[in-house]
A and B are shown apart, each in its own frame.
Chain A
Amino acid sequence: MSLRKSFLSRKFSKSFREFNGSQAGGGGDRRVVHDSAELDRVSDSVESTASSWSTLLPELLGEIIQRVEDSEDKWPHRQNVVACACVCKRWRDITKEIVRTPSANGRITFPSCLKQPGPSDFPHQCLIKRNKKTSTFYLYLALTPSFTDKGKFLLAARRYRRGSHTEYIISLDAEDISQGSNAYVGKLSSDFLGTNFTIYDSQPPHSGAKPASRRSSRRFASKQISPQVPAGNFEVGQVSYRFNLLKSRGPRRMICPLNCPASGGSGNSEMKKPDYGSGHNTVLRNKAPRWHDQLQCWCLNFHGRVTVASVKNFQLVVALDPKGDDETVLQFGKVGDDTFTMDFRHPLSAFQAFAICLTSFGTKLACE
């Protein structure tokens, strides 16, 4: 259904609540009891009901918005939650609070959620579609198990050759993927060999953070929406590929030291700022595949989410996890000529996961 259909605006009829002036006395021998404190509320509410819903108690408004959020947990219906957050400041504050509660665990609602950690329980299943001709990549949140259904658009990236190195610009706008765009969210930069990458966030990870290069800050200053946010690129992670000298050790290795954002709300009320300040540093490594003698190939259990063998496929786990946990934090693999699945979970954000997956594309010199 078209969510942009405009409805006729509704006029409010005058309140038909009637209040008697006095409530004195009761009939017969029965005592009439009334709470005098409530009479004050009567006079307030006569005016408020006569005007509009705008004076609805915040608690009631919160209850209503909470129910919208609970029931519209999947896209595209989750658009309704975004609509609630656009109505006015009071609605926006209430909606933001509701979306940031731990129970809303990693759900993607606003663009800013793309820089918050994914869910702790089940990973978000996403698709990446590649357009080889334009060197563009599109990330979607899968809405069905099918690899061919479109999904909810999340991010787009385009590869640019910059002299001796390569860059991927990442944007919220599929039509406008450039560093100067208001929709620019970050980039990935690689070295000449295509084996070492740095992930940059367009927003500062914490207050006082310095941008990576002053040259970038000058370029963006004029396009900033909010002058309070310093312009520039801020390093939030690295990805390194290592060639295995001994073939018997298996395919290439990946090491990813990252600065991961904090979960949930920590009092940061700004929508656009990711909260790396109280986040943590973590290192991810790829899971070593096992050699399958019969099939004569390296194998990883992708649980049906990867269907085409490719050197690009990988699974990342937390290296040296104190819990000894071997749970896959990011899984990436090919399912079609230009279609890949990306499954990610806490502590990674969608933005970081996408950036890491982008590193898998492209030839890596001196690496098998």
Chain B
Amino acid sequence: MKKISVRTSDGQEFELEENLAMESATIKTSLDAFSRDDIILLPNVNSWEMVKIIEFFTKVQELETKFGVKFMEKKEGRFLEAFQAEFDKDLSDDNLYCLLWTVDYLGIEVLLENLCHLMAERTKNKTVESCRNLFGVQHDYTPEEEAEIREDYSWAFEGPEIEE
């Protein structure tokens, strides 16, 4: 299989399998415009991210062989669970954040699905305040909105005041 060369922002070159390269809408677009002998420059991708992406993609291929179905065809839960089991524990929030940006930039649907799933799992079962801390957002409600939110929250959680 033909290899496609890419260079990451920190100057490292990688040779990607063609099927991985073609999964990236961004790389594919570049290849359509230029010859496959050219090195594609990826200024938004760091080498450590490229390493992870190759690792992720290899795992997806492994799962597709194991389950006998393409992930994007069915998006089955067992794919998501297997991917999560393999990668979740060693992926810090910061790493996951960077990888989400990068995978979105590269336009690799199958990895975007899996990483969004990982992030969604991390978003669950947190208090509102913990969610704000994790995502670094500020609370920006007016007093009227705040009152409505407290009402929604206390009805949904059927308990006393929100823990902040």
Add 15 more A-B contacts to A82-B157, A173-B155 (CB < 8 A). Answer: A1-B125, A6-B163, A13-B92, A23-B7, A38-B105, A42-B43, A52-B136, A53-B134, A60-B101, A65-B123, A83-B131, A83-B156, A86-B149, A173-B154, A183-B151
A231 to B21, CA, bound (A): 61
Which residues from chain A sit less than 8 Å from chain B, CB to CB? Answer: 1, 3-7, 9-10, 12-13, 15-20, 23, 26-27, 30-35, 38-39, 41-42, 45, 49, 51-54, 56-57, 59-60, 63-65, 67-68, 71-72, 77-80, 82-92, 110-111, 153, 172-173, 182-183, 225-226, 271-272
A307 to B126, CA, bound (A): 40
Task: Give the distance to chain B from A14, nearest Cβ to Cβ, in Å.
Answer: 9
Contacts A30-B37, A32-B41 given; indicate if A12 touches B136 (C-beta within 8 A): yes
Contacts A33-B30, A183-B151 given; indicate if A89 touches B140 (C-beta within 8 A): yes
Contact between A10 and B151, CB atoms less than 8 A apart: no
A60 to B152, CA, bound (A): 25
The interface size of chain B toward A, counting residues with CB under 8 Å, comes to: 66
Q: Any chain A CB within 8 A of the CB of B9?
A: yes
Task: Give the distance to chain A from B82, nearest Cβ to Cβ, in Å.
Answer: 16
A80 closest partner in B (C-beta): B124
Q: Which of B78-124 contact A (CB under 8 A)?
A: 92-94, 97-98, 100-101, 104-105, 112, 116-117, 119-120, 123-124
Contact between B9 and A53, CB atoms less than 8 A apart: no
A33 to B39, CA, bound (A): 6
A183 to B155, CA, bound (A): 9
Contact between B94 and A33, CB atoms less than 8 A apart: no
Contact between A3 and B127, CB atoms less than 8 A apart: yes
A226 to B140, CA, bound (A): 17
Residues of B within 8 A of A86 (CB): 128, 149, 152-153
Contact between A79 and B130, CB atoms less than 8 A apart: no
Contact between B116 and A83, CB atoms less than 8 A apart: no
A9 to B131, CA, bound (A): 9
Residues of A within 8 A of B7 (CB): 23, 26, 32
Task: Give the distance to chain B from A64, nearest Cβ to Cβ, in Å.
Answer: 5
Contacts A3-B127, A18-B46, A26-B7 given; indicate if A53 touches B159 (C-beta within 8 A): no
Contacts A7-B126, A80-B124 given; indicate if A54 touches B147 (C-beta within 8 A): no
> What are 11 contact pairs spanning A and B, CB under 8 A?
A10-B93, A23-B9, A23-B41, A53-B134, A57-B104, A78-B156, A79-B157, A80-B124, A82-B156, A89-B141, A111-B155
Q: Any chain A CB within 8 A of the CB of B65?
A: no
Q: Any chain A CB within 8 A of the CB of B63?
A: no
Contact between A19 and B9, CB atoms less than 8 A apart: yes
Task: Give the distance to chain B from A144, nearest Cβ to Cβ, in Å.
Answer: 17
Q: Which of B15-57 contact A (CB under 8 A)?
A: 30, 33-35, 37-44, 46
Say what secondary structure dominates the interface of chain B.
helix
Task: Give the distance to chain B from A140, nearest Cβ to Cβ, in Å.
Answer: 11
A247 to B94, CA, bound (A): 74
Residues of A within 8 A of B139 (CB): 87-88
Contact between A225 and B135, CB atoms less than 8 A apart: no
A71 to B125, CA, bound (A): 12
A4 closest partner in B (C-beta): B163
B130 closest partner in A (C-beta): A7
B46 closest partner in A (C-beta): A17
Contact between B116 and A63, CB atoms less than 8 A apart: yes
Contact between A56 and B155, CB atoms less than 8 A apart: no
Task: Give the distance to chain B from A73, nearest Cβ to Cβ, in Å.
Answer: 13
Contact between A271 and B130, CB atoms less than 8 A apart: no
Task: Give the distance to chain B from A74, nearest Cβ to Cβ, in Å.
Answer: 13
Contact between B39 and A20, CB atoms less than 8 A apart: no
Contacts A84-B123, A153-B158 given; indicate if A67 touches B41 (C-beta within 8 A): no
Contact between B100 and A60, CB atoms less than 8 A apart: yes
Contact between A64 and B137, CB atoms less than 8 A apart: no
Contact between A87 and B131, CB atoms less than 8 A apart: yes
Task: Give the distance to chain A from B66, nearest Cβ to Cβ, in Å.
Answer: 23
Contact between B44 and A10, CB atoms less than 8 A apart: no
Contacts A18-B10, A45-B44, A87-B132 given; indicate if A64 touches B155 (C-beta within 8 A): no
A79 to B155, CA, bound (A): 9
Contacts A18-B10, A87-B137 given; indicate if A111 touches B30 (C-beta within 8 A): no
Contact between B46 and A23, CB atoms less than 8 A apart: no
Residues of B within 8 A of A173 (CB): 154-155
Contact between A88 and B152, CB atoms less than 8 A apart: no
Contact between A10 and B138, CB atoms less than 8 A apart: no
Residues of A within 8 A of B33 (CB): 33
Residues of A within 8 A of B145 (CB): 89
Contact between A7 and B9, CB atoms less than 8 A apart: no
Residues of A within 8 A of B144 (CB): 225-226
Task: Give the distance to chain B from A302, nearest Cβ to Cβ, in Å.
Answer: 29
Residues of A within 8 A of B40 (CB): 33-34
